[in-house]
Amino acid sequence: HPCFIQHIYYSGKMNLLILFILFTFLPGSFMSSAIHRCFCKVTGSLDDCACDVETIDSFNNRKLFPQLQKLLSSDYFRFYKVNLNNPCPFWTDSGHCGLRDCAVKPCTPVSSYSLEGNRDTEDCEMAEKLGAVNSSLSDETRLALLDWNRYDDEADRFCMHDDEDSPDSQYVDLLLNPERYTGYKGLEAWKIWNSIYEENCFKPYSVKRPLDPLVSNRGEFVGFYQWLEGLCVEKRAFFRLVSGLHASINVHLSARYMLDDNWYERRWGPNVTEFQLRFDEELTKGEGPKWLRNLYFLYLIELRALAKVLPFFERPSLHLYTGQTQQDRKNKELLLELLHMAKSFPLHFDETTLFAGDKKEADKLKNDFKLTFKNISRIMDCVGCFKCRLWGKLQTQGLGTALKILFSEKQIEALHQSSSIKPSFQLSRQEIVALFNAFGRISTSIRELENFRLLLSELNQ
């Protein structure tokens, strides 16, 4: 991905200027093919699987997406415990966002009692907007969450996780902290994705990624796809998952962009220009549509995990506990309905194609997957924008949980034979919340693509 493109901050005026240039100075064919250049290759069958884009669009947008959004708005799934204060373990510079709106700056009560304090309060409140995490919870909610922990299943995590007993960990209401554009940009932000791609995707340094801003010889990029196609299917899938996650984040940043900022409100909505900058085939030298296809691949992987984990949630002893008996029962019914819907998808990814070779070699490759993914989850502690860090950690843990499920097929199948005291497969509440919210992000991205198709088609009229 063009990290230098992803994190460039375009103000509302800059976007208007770009649109003016596109409409005024470029040939009519440029604008008339806007939708073609973003989506012409985002169609048909996907690589390494039997599914196609159109089947996913129909299934997600018409059936699964509405049900999933209803589930994620429930109390069990809206609260996520996270430590946003872990230091970056990989580099020593500040790693903080270049914009004050990405930083959390708590307002002190005394600041409201003087003119100078009032000015500080205004600055403080501004700094808590875009990239800040709203951690406000009522005392009643905090006590309830402590009670929920007693019902949590302990389990071995697939990826790194926060010490949930740490005094720095806090519950965050995800509905109060939506994933959207924050203006997080610059070298700090670029280093995050560069570290993930260069050091954690099984790629040798001699192979250069397309649109790498540190490489001057564009001819070297031809070798990247030759290298990618030469990988075993497992490592190629890993790269596509990371790329798909990156694409999904970019879709959200374009779909929930700050369109207007004035004295009484901030208005958020889809920014077509921003979407084109990130995914237009010409503006990304052919890479944008490939990233969107990887987003669909990621969707298939996480959807398959939901289908495979159904026996775990079907157990009578499994409760989505919040202390509200009737609502908890309804939530489990809704969740099971969603999982059965996921299982009914006609063109699932065939995970048996992964790790199907020599057992010793397959076990080593699985372990490499786990170690690499743990490293990526640690990189999330280097994200300077706290809201970006929140969603980065959640989505990384969610994808890690999906992979854990796909790697535990035998343990899940043995659940009906194992005791309720020590089941053969376990998920913690933290993993469950991360799994479904992460898939919720991917599902929303697929839904947003339909909206951008419509908006781009309107440019031609």
Show binding-site residues for FAD.
180, 182, 193, 243, 246, 278
C-alpha neighbours within 13 Å on the C-beta side of residue 388: 30
Name the active-site residue from 49, 102, 382, 385: 385
Q: Is 388 designated active site?
A: yes
CB atoms within 10 A of CB 220: 15
Q: Is 97 designated active site?
A: no
Q: Are 341 and 67 in contact (CB under 8 A)?
A: yes
* SS3 at position 443: helix
With vertex at residue 180, the alpha carbon angle to CA 12 and CA 274, rounded to the nearest 5 degrees, is: 40
* SS3 at position 417: coil
- Cα–Cα dist 270/37, whole Å: 18
Q: For residue 370, what are the CA distances in angstroms to 10, 71, 375, 404?
A: 37, 29, 9, 9
What is the per-residue burial (b if ≥16 Cβ within 10 Å, else e) of 345-364? bebbbebeebbeeeeeeeee
CB atoms within 10 A of CB 249: 22
Strands 169-173 and 266-269: unpaired
CB atoms within 10 A of CB 336: 14
Binding-site residues sit at 180, 182, 193, 243, 246, 278
What residue ranges in 166-280 does DSSP mark as E strands? 169-173, 257-261, 266-269
- Cα–Cα dist 232/157, whole Å: 25
Q: Are 459 and 34 in contact (CB under 8 A)?
A: yes
- Cα–Cα dist 202/205, whole Å: 10
Q: Are 279 and 291 in contact (CB under 8 A)?
A: yes
With vertex at residue 308, the alpha carbon angle to CA 305 and CA 313, rounded to the nearest 5 degrees, is: 105
Those residues with Cβ within 8 angstroms of residue 56's Cβ, 6 or more apart along the chain or in another chain: 296, 299, 300, 446
Please report which helix (H) or strand (E) contains residue 82, including its range. strand 79-83
Name the active-site residue from 49, 97, 382, 388: 388
- The residues annotated with a catalytic role in the active site are 385, 388
